[in-house]
Amino acid sequence: MGGIRVMFLFPETGIVANGPYSIGVDTVNYRNPMIAMSQKTDAIGSGIGNFDIRTIVFYEHKDGGIYGSVTDAIIETAPNFQYLFVVASSLIKGVQLHAIYDPYNENFLMTYYDKINKKLPFCTKSLTSPGAFAPIVLQANYRDASTPSTVAVKPRVDINQFAGRVEFAWNDSGASMFESDGIYVSIDENNIESVSNLLLFPNPTTDYVNIAFNSISKQTIKLAIYDLNGRVVYFKESDVMQGENLLNVYTKDLAQGQYVLIVSSFNNNYPIKLIISR
């Protein structure tokens, strides 16, 4: 636990534009901060959400709540994160907060793990909502993103139930979809790592790949390979022994490109980028 500070850099030069600034009301009780920026600079005024890029910093608190601080000014004047709002009550013992900005509907999208009710709520906060207003819970729990959607999908936050990963997804008027799913959600933040020293080789590869790792105990390991559309193109279960293990996966039937290989143990998921090169 500690404090949160934020500063803004010019991307072209790396020179500090503003900051650092302290976030929140104390300096000892926060962790796992996340920042989301609206990218809206339409120059039509100086009100909430206009001209200056609206920026929100989310964070977990020691009491189990999830909170946010928002500012309107990071370009013309120094930011002032004076607007504080509650994302989730301390009663739910929230962890693993994730957030993005949805340019399609001009909303901030959020999800987190509710440890008491064992749910992943889907929340939204409008770009133009007053700073102190709490987000709206759109859905009490996740949609399973391991199955494809049959309808045009607007920006959303999902969870891949099989892999245990948060998926941020949006589309272009229903014509296409992009999913980024490199983050996993842990049900128990105090879990001991059951797999360590994970190594994938050769990578890039052509016809096969080796997976070396240490296992904390005898267990069943699941191997899954996902393409960039979130589809499972390979799946296998293997019983492994305590200590060093080496598994092989044949990839000659996979097309050239980038994939994500996930090693799933009894208590965690370990994603690794896999490249197939012909």
**pLDDT at residue 101 tops 70:** yes
Residue ranges per domain, the chain? Answer: 4-184, 195-276
- pLDDT at residue 104 greater than cutoff 80: no
Residue 8 has pLDDT above 80, yes or no: no
| pLDDT on residue 223 | 93
Find the range with the poorest average confidence among 1-5, 7-11, 50-54, 264-268: 50-54
In this predicted model, what pLDDT tens digit does every residue of 9-49 receive, in sequence order? 777 777 777 777 778 776 778 888 888 888 665 554 445 55
Q: Domain spanning 195-276: which CATH class is it, in words?
A: mainly beta
The residue behind tokens 């929140």 is 24
Average pLDDT for 192-200: 83
Across 110-119, 120-129, 185-194, 246-255, least confident range: 185-194
pLDDT of residue 237: 93
